Amino acid sequence: MVLDDVDELNATVQDDVFLIEIGDLNEAVHKGFGEAFRAAYEADTRVVVVTGQGESFMGPTEYDPNYLEMMKDLDYWRDNTMREAEEILESMLNVEQPIIAKVNGQGAHSLGASIALTCDLIIAGDGASFSDPHVSGFGVPAGDGGCVMWPRRIGLTRAKEYLLTGKAIPAEEAVEIGLINRVVPEEELDDEVDELVDTLASSAQNAVRYTKKTLNQYVQHDMNLTWGYGVAHEVVSGTADFHEGIDAVIEGREPDFPSGR
């Protein structure tokens, strides 16, 4: 174990691989992501793999209700949640080893999608899907990594559709539009990722790392351009719509946003 006291976020070193396994999202997990990726940066490994502990990489309902209630407080949202979100993406971009998202089960949604799409390579099981329900589910702008990584991967036209509607994209379609790299039957996911890990781990390590670092300059440029603007909009949107979105997630129902009535 690399992380202490974070049951829902396991980080371990397995030979050449730094493995991060995500459980349900709670306060400790949200805080722990940055620590996990900083530990990955410092680890003597050649590849980082991120995956889910349970039924999905990070599903649309895998949230601790107590943590969601905490986020209703605008000061907490601004000073903790959004600051930690920036730390997550910055720490991921700083990792020199290639990061593989092994998207299992139901797929990657909301913060899970932002994390998966910030990885360098994304391989999904055939039952997975991807969505960012900031707008459709929580009633807030997609102001964090979503506004950077979705258009960077699939272009502005498609990104606007998926971010504004929150539509879930099945893994097969995600490959077709360039959102992810590969989709395989769920039972073959482990073997597919292991094969890619072996390829990367046996390659010229400086060449791998510096190629990644160079390509990430595009992402870093977009982060610098949009992050502060997007986060500012997300923070000031802690309105009745946001509270309704959180209540709907906790209660397992569709939101009925006051501003949309």
Q: What is the pLDDT of residue 163?
A: 96
The answer on pLDDT for 105 being more than 90 is: yes
The answer on pLDDT for 61 being more than 70 is: no
Bigger pLDDT: 234 vs 26: 26
Q: How far apart are CA 134 and CA 1, in angstroms?
A: 32
The answer to whether residues 75 and 24 touch, using CB atoms and an 8 Å cutoff, is no
pLDDT-wise least confident of 134-138, 178-182, 187-191, 234-238 = 234-238
Q: Could you tell me how far CA 212 lies from the centroid of its own chain?
A: 18
Bigger pLDDT: 28 vs 255: 255
Q: What is the pLDDT of residue 4?
A: 55
Q: Per-residue pLDDT averaged across 168-188, rounded? A: 98
| Global confidence as pTM | 0.93
CATH superfamily membership of 9-188+204-260: 2-enoyl-CoA Hydratase; Chain A, domain 1 (3.90.226.10)
Query: HSE (CB half, 13 Å, CA atoms) of 176?
Result: 7
- 3 — pLDDT class (breaks 50, 70, 90): low
Q: Per-residue pLDDT averaged across 168-181, rounded? A: 98
- Residue 28 has phi, psi (to 5 degrees) of -65, -40
Give the containing element (helix H, strand E) for 169: strand 169-170
Bigger pLDDT: 219 vs 201: 201
pLDDT-wise least confident of 6-10, 17-21, 181-185, 234-238 = 234-238
Share of the chain above pLDDT 90, in %: 60
Q: What is the pLDDT of residue 62?
A: 63
DSSP assignment of 6-53: -TTEEEEEETTEEEEEE-SB-HHHHHHHHHHHHHHHHSS-SEEEEEES
Task: Please state the domain extents for the chain.
Answer: 9-188+204-260
Alpha-carbon dihedral angle through residues 116, 78, 24, 176, given to the nearest 10 degrees: -20
Mean of all residue pLDDT scores within the chain: 89
List residues bridging with 9 in a β-sheet. 22
DSSP alpha helices (H): ranges in the chain? 27-42, 65-71, 74-76, 83-94, 111-118, 146-154, 156-165, 171-176, 189-201, 205-235, 240-251
- 26 — pLDDT class (breaks 50, 70, 90): confident
Q: What is the pLDDT of residue 147?
A: 87
Bigger pLDDT: 137 vs 27: 137
Q: What is the pLDDT of residue 236?
A: 64
Q: How far apart are CA 47 and CA 43, in angstroms?
A: 10
The answer on pLDDT for 151 being more than 60 is: yes
Q: Per-residue pLDDT averaged across 89-117, rounded? A: 95
The answer on pLDDT for 82 being more than 60 is: yes
Q: Per-residue pLDDT averaged across 82-111, rounded? A: 92
List Cβ neighbours of 111 (8 Å cut-off, separation of 6 or more). 25, 30, 58, 85
The answer on pLDDT for 187 being more than 60 is: yes
The answer on pLDDT for 57 being more than 80 is: yes
Q: What is the pLDDT of residue 179?
A: 98
Q: Per-residue pLDDT averaged across 28-43, rounded? A: 91
